[in-house]
Structure 1
Amino acid sequence: MILPLRIALLWHQHQPYYRKGNHFILPWVRLHAAKDYWDLPALAEQFPSLKQTINIVPSLLVQLDEYIRYGITDSIQELTLINACDLNRFQKTEILRLFFLCNYTTMIAPYARYNELYSYAQHNQQEAVESFTSQDWLDIQTWYNLTWIGELFKSNNSELQSLFEKTHFSEDDKVTVLAYHKHIISLIIPLMQKAVKENRLELSVTPFYHPIIPLLIDSRSALENMPDILLPVLAPQSVKDAQVQIERALAYCKDRLSIVPNGMWPSEGSISNETLSVFEQYNVKWIATDEKILFQSPGHHHQLDKYFPRKIGNLTCFFRDHALSDAIGFEYSSWEAQKASDDFIKRLKQIRLDLIQHYGEQSLQYAVVPIILDGENCWEYYQNNGLPFLRSLFHALISQDELHTITMSEGIQGSDFLEPLSSIKAGSWIHGNFSIWIGHSQDNAAWEMIAKARKILFNCGLDQKSPEWQKAYNHLLISEGSDWFWWYGDDHISANQSEFDELFRWNIEQIYLLIGHHIPDEVRQPIADKIEFADAELSSKEIIHTLFEKEYSGSAIHSVSEILSSIHICFHAASQLYTMNVHATDCIANNAAIEIYILTDQHKTLTAIWKDNYLQFDGFIPKLCGKGMHHIYFSLPDTLHIFQIRVQSINNTTSLQYPRSGNYVTLTL
């Protein structure tokens, strides 16, 4: 009898709480619900022997209910519902800003009419505001919502298929698309509950508003991996808030879903020894984090040890296979679906052989390969929303004798193969530390704002059982969510950065209003600085084309192997020059090279190479260029009017091409 390798798939479904007053200021709950949150468990239903785990964040499910039960709407819905003939200039400008925030290659380019409108608006935004007809605006309103409907759902619906084939839409079509969004939302929770009852799915949970629990308990936990980091002067330091975030998450699952979760994926896989003690108080059986946390913790750890769940006190801890999880999340989207699936299975089989060789075949009874990643953000980078890849992968996983899928709880039995861990080093799945959420002046300003508001709330004299105090405390818990800090600092760029800042400060403001306290001036001032070049000559740039932007929306997708964060072609009014601006992520290594190839209409190739913070040009000498630790810019030749461009980034482990298709993209200046 062949002993199979056990595979534990965990999909993390997460959105922060976007509600401000009586509407959601961002649409990502609704849009990802329509595209991803139903499609994934519905596809798994076609493979009855496949087992997996979905980790849910209560702040996401609460919003699903608020869309359906209470009719709360988001900003995109509200702009969509305005009759196209009645749009004013501001609303039209907002539509052009917001209704193309999706992956161009997979969600705009396949639809000729949508692509036509996008292409014109990208190059002639002001003219589009003036010249687009009511039909043009109606088509944009409809297409943006239509393109967010999941591939699997639309494949089973003839009415939706006919809408995708239309050139022009009616006001009734627009309303129909939005109605389908709400219908899909209403199906999501019942579908997951059904899968749980059929023992095909386990539901785990994250603390209610997705806080970084180690930092909430003690900000000094960041020093364990970053001893030189600058901490905020004030921080919440609140075990109580951590307990409440966990208590409320577990209670929500019991009351709303009729389940008691066995396990938790801590927000961003963030753990510390103090955090584990708090989880233990609530009878949590298992948690999961990244393999890097294991390897940087005390003791000697073989590379294959990550495949064995470990006891830490009364908890069982799983360690995410970083490479395999990121392969689905960030790499396979540019592969042909079958080849990607074959590669994944090949790598799993090699792990099985390695385990047998190192520990013996009986070790397979205890080993688990945890594949843990976002269940929503990566799919828009795949053709057909990842459906061909997932179909191929799911079929392969249940067809191979050497492989067997399990839920996370079913993997607990392997936790006694290796000796328990006495302690772990605090960190998250990203870089093994907390640099995304603390240390930058903007992050620290937000933590200090929370700490001040918390101190005033707990000392305001109001009865803590009063409705006003409880509402204020809930706003405090919302403000502790990780997502606000994700967008502060210079780690990530988003078209919605100002909305995240606005929503964070609004929640802080509500604390003061509800307890009748004066609102400090700093709460009314934006925390996030504008992202600009330091050079005065480049301060008034206008982005005329985006070749690549890693964070284009409220999405929290993050690849630790991604080298570049954005590539823009800009026009600078002061110098009347066009420049190419390239921003890198923190992942750029000393030996990384950025190779830029420009093919002119005279079939000449111009190249620029950025390596070791040194810029080298071949075929032209720019009039203007500059560089910093994480960005370069250089002017394009005056004679360049129509050209093609491709960028390749290379470090010691990864080679990525931009655009992701690997082809040149044609630009006109």
Structure 2
Amino acid sequence: MKPLNLVLLWHMHQPDYRDRDTGEFLLPWVYLHAIKDYTDMAHHLEQHPCVKAIVNFVPILLDQLEDYAQQFTQKKIRDPLLRLLATPDLNMITVNERASILNSCFQSNHATMLKPYPAYQHLREVYDMLKGQGDKDLIYVSGQYLADLLTWYHLAWMGESVRRSHEFVVKLMTQGKNFSYTDRLQLFNLIGKLIQELIPRYRELAASGQIELSTTPHFHPLAPLLIDFSSARDSLPEATLPSNTIYPGGCERVTFHVKSAINRHRQHFDTQPAGFWPAEGGISKDLLNIFMELGCQWSASGEGVLVNSLRKSYPNQSLPNRNHYLYRPYQVSDEKNGMFCFFRDDKLSDMIGFEYSKWFGRDAAENFIHTLEKIHHEVQAIVTYPIVSVILDGENAWESYPYNGYYFLKDLYDLLESHPFIQTTTYRDYIVNLVDTQAETKILPVLAAGSWVYGSFSTWIGDHDKNLAWDLLCTAKQSYDFVMKSDRLTDEEKLLVEQQLASCESSDWFWWFGDYNSAQAVASFDQLFRKNLANLYRLLKLPVPAIVLEPISQGGRYAGLVETMRRSS
């Protein structure tokens, strides 16, 4: 019986949270996900050496992880929250620093990361009581309260594998309160050790052949939109586009991000990436042409993109059952050496991302395996060398699982390791076997541009706030082009400007604009985007336009607090 190939692609990404003017980290999400999710995901793979997977690291995330590692080595911490964790006397900190601790240290999934810990929950109750009396009373909380809050926040964000391998962490959680400076400093040093070991751990997993490391254009730009705003109309013909009809020099900018990603991947992992998971799974024919020109073997996107592409390719035919088209590779060029493209099983991927967190871990893992067995039975007579692609966020999903998804991932990997015909693989290895066996590969005549969310780009373009952000970026890019062609800047200054523009081009800023996101989240990312634009103008030695100083989006009053992931449909 021929095997069912399964690719698990875990996408690891955070945008650039650094203020390039000061070097300070404005939000702590890189190091928090490092000690929780990136650490746990490496642990599960290390404990299951027969399970293969793809881990996709966005280069700007790797750059920041490397930055944090250097901060610990140089003992110069540029993250305010980390710095406060290692501050000896918290009674002596400023009012703004107190506010920073209080505003930051309850930001998590309270159901899984706060309520299970009575001592941490008590700190929240004290906070709510004081806040109910007016914000001004919060400045009077003691240094010990702040010490306990900082400690518990970092304990709650600690990976389950770390808790199980460091008695010191368990000791602090058992102690519960009255944490000393020595306690906090020991926790701070553990965080540094975990971050410094992280990239080498994944490099070792890749060197063993267990995982394939793939990449994304460097600063995570929504590349098809940078190339051509009108690509949004491939899936949504009536989409409203920004006032600027095109992003100036977008194709060249995307090529910059792709080349830079390849170079940084080589520097971090000593190897050339075989494939790209584009930002947000957003693909277009123009983007894939750039990948192909630079020697890329494969890319991937969402099931909705494949559906739209098949409908455009065969407009006079009705779409068959998904078993007939989803679980196979495609080539997007008529040439035999064209690039391979794979499409995720949206249902299975979303089950991990949104549903299995509500199940018992073993039940969820068995359901996942049962679904794969059903697919295997149905595609046996249809596809020569079937492949199922499960692709999703490898960091944010686990926050909603008990114990950071520890039991689900352990049971899933246990079942996969011992399964008689479900074979975990990577796209690189799958392509080698595909060529060796001369298995059938379908040509996709028309590729419809789109992303893994709804098969469209509606999450990033089309409404008033998102389009306004694009217009602000287009205007800044026009100023960039003008100054870069002049002799105003030195070569060193031009390099700084180019990096700052790249940060402005990240897809993340556009994700957050809109009233379906919470006001708190929108405010943070709105401010970050505009700060990046302002820094760009300053580096160009130009005045910052007044409109850049005004908020772009307000968010929704009744929107949820966690919008880091979105369902595919």
Same fold (TM over 0.5): yes
**In 1, Cα distance between equivalents of 2:216 and 2:560:** 25
**In 2, Cα distance between equivalents of 1:425 and 1:52:** 27
**In 1, Cα distance between equivalents of 2:352 and 2:428:** 22
Q: Residue 212 of structure 1: CA displacement? A: 0.5
3-state secondary structure, aligned to 2:396: coil
Task: Tell me the residue number matched to 2:442.
Answer: 419
Please tell me whether residue 295 in structure 1 is matched to residue 307 in structure 2. yes
Task: Tell me the residue number matched to 1:627.
Answer: none
Task: Tell me the residue number matched to 2:174.
Answer: 165
Q: Residue 387 of structure 1: CA displacement? A: 0.7
Q: Residue 560 of structure 1: CA displacement? A: 4.2
Please tell me whether residue 80 in structure 1 is matched to residue 92 in structure 2. no
**In 1, Cα distance between equivalents of 2:350 and 2:357:** 11
Please tell me whether residue 527 in structure 1 is matched to residue 538 in structure 2. no
Task: Tell me the residue number matched to 2:566.
Answer: 558
**In 1, Cα distance between equivalents of 2:413 and 2:519:** 33
Task: Tell me the residue number matched to 1:599.
Answer: none
User: 1:582-608: CA deviations, max 9, x gaps?
Assistant: xxxxxxxxxxxxxxxxxxxxxxxxxxx
Looking at both structures, which has the greater relative contact order when contacts are Cα pairs under 8 Å and sequence separation is at least 6? 2
Task: Tell me the residue number matched to 2:229.
Answer: 219
Tell me how large the CA RMSD over aligned residues is: 1.9
User: 1:281-337: CA deviations, max 9, x gaps?
Assistant: 111100000111111112255311111010111110011000101111110001001
Q: Residue 158 of structure 1: CA displacement? A: 1.2
Q: Residue 523 of structure 1: CA displacement? A: 1.5
Q: Which amino acid aligns with 1:200?
A: Q
Q: Residue 74 of structure 1: CA displacement? A: 2.1
Task: Tell me the residue number matched to 2:252.
Answer: 240
Q: 1:112-123 residue pairs with structure 2 within 5 A?
A: 112-123=118-129
Equivalent of 2:529, from 488, 504, 507?
A: 504
User: 1:404-453: CA deviations, max 9, x gaps?
Assistant: 10012122244852431112111100011111111121111111111111
Equivalent of 1:452, from 466, 475, 485?
A: 475
**In 1, Cα distance between equivalents of 2:510 and 2:238:** 19
3-state secondary structure, aligned to 1:241: helix
User: 1:195-219: CA deviations, max 9, x gaps?
Assistant: 1111101000000000111000000
Q: 1:515 to 1:91 in 2, by over 3 A?
A: closer
Please tell me whether residue 188 in structure 1 is matched to residue 212 in structure 2. no
Q: Residue 92 of structure 1: CA displacement? A: 3.2
Q: 1:130 to 1:516 in 2, by over 3 A?
A: closer
3-state secondary structure, aligned to 1:490: coil
1:367–1:414 Cα contact (<8 Å) kept: no
3-state secondary structure, aligned to 1:307: coil
**In 2, Cα distance between equivalents of 1:216 and 1:401:** 45
Q: Which amino acid aligns with 2:118?
A: A
Task: Tell me the residue number matched to 2:102.
Answer: 96
Q: 1:511-550 residue pairs with structure 2 within 5 A?
A: 511-529=536-554, 531-532=556-557, 550=560
**In 1, Cα distance between equivalents of 2:223 and 2:284:** 8
Q: Which amino acid aligns with 1:388?
A: Y
2:513–2:555 Cα contact (<8 Å) kept: no
3-state secondary structure, aligned to 1:396: helix
Task: Tell me the residue number matched to 1:45.
Answer: 46
**In 2, Cα distance between equivalents of 1:130 and 1:436:** 39
Task: Tell me the residue number matched to 1:205.
Answer: 215
2:221–2:506 Cα contact (<8 Å) kept: yes
Q: Which amino acid aligns with 1:73?
A: R
3-state secondary structure, aligned to 2:175: coil
Task: Tell me the residue number matched to 1:19.
Answer: 18
Task: Tell me the residue number matched to 1:55.
Answer: 56
Q: 1:459-498 residue pairs with structure 2 within 5 A?
A: 459-460=482-483, 461-463=485-487, 466-493=491-518, 495-498=520-523
Equivalent of 2:239, from 209, 216, 229?
A: 229
Higher share of residues assigned strand: 1
TM-score norm. by structure 1 comes to: 0.77
**In 1, Cα distance between equivalents of 2:81 and 2:552:** 25
Q: Which amino acid aligns with 1:3?
A: K
Q: Residue 369 of structure 1: CA displacement? A: 0.4
Task: Tell me the residue number matched to 1:371.
Answer: 390
Q: 1:468 to 1:208 in 2, by over 3 A?
A: same
User: 1:468-499: CA deviations, max 9, x gaps?
Assistant: 12211211111110110011122422634322
**Paired residues, what number?**
538
1:145–1:178 Cα contact (<8 Å) kept: no
3-state secondary structure, aligned to 2:341: strand
Q: Residue 89 of structure 1: CA displacement? A: 4.2
**Deviating more after overlay: 444-453 vs 120-129:** 120-129
Equivalent of 1:348, from 353, 358, 372?
A: 372
**In 2, Cα distance between equivalents of 1:131 and 1:522:** 37
TM-score norm. by structure 2 comes to: 0.91
Q: Residue 171 of structure 1: CA displacement? A: 1.6
**In 2, Cα distance between equivalents of 1:12 and 1:206:** 9
3-state secondary structure, aligned to 2:450: coil
Q: Residue 273 of structure 1: CA displacement? A: 1.5
**Deviating more after overlay: 475-484 vs 127-136:** 127-136
**In 1, Cα distance between equivalents of 2:490 and 2:93:** 46
Q: Which amino acid aligns with 1:18?
A: Y
Task: Tell me the residue number matched to 2:146.
Answer: 137
**Deviating more after overlay: 483-492 vs 377-386:** 483-492
2:115–2:121 Cα contact (<8 Å) kept: yes
Task: Tell me the residue number matched to 2:188.
Answer: 178
**In 2, Cα distance between equivalents of 1:59 and 1:50:** 27
**In 2, Cα distance between equivalents of 1:504 and 1:44:** 35
**In 1, Cα distance between equivalents of 2:561 and 2:391:** 20
Q: Residue 72 of structure 1: CA displacement? A: 4.5
Task: Tell me the residue number matched to 1:336.
Answer: 360
1:22–1:72 Cα contact (<8 Å) kept: no
**In 2, Cα distance between equivalents of 1:134 and 1:39:** 32
Q: Which amino acid aligns with 1:125?
A: K
**In 1, Cα distance between equivalents of 2:269 and 2:143:** 44
**In 2, Cα distance between equivalents of 1:423 and 1:520:** 42
Please tell me whether residue 311 in structure 1 is matched to residue 316 in structure 2. no
Please tell me whether residue 255 in structure 1 is matched to residue 267 in structure 2. yes
2:512–2:521 Cα contact (<8 Å) kept: no
Higher share of residues assigned helix: 2
Q: Which residues of structure 1 form unaligned runs of 5+?
A: 534-548, 562-669
Q: Which residues of structure 2 form unaligned runs of 5+?
A: none
**In 2, Cα distance between equivalents of 1:72 and 1:470:** 24
1:309–1:411 Cα contact (<8 Å) kept: no
Q: Which amino acid aligns with 2:282?
A: S
**In 2, Cα distance between equivalents of 1:132 and 1:25:** 24
**In 1, Cα distance between equivalents of 2:127 and 2:355:** 30
2:223–2:287 Cα contact (<8 Å) kept: yes
**Deviating more after overlay: 27-36 vs 487-496:** 487-496
**In 1, Cα distance between equivalents of 2:419 and 2:519:** 41
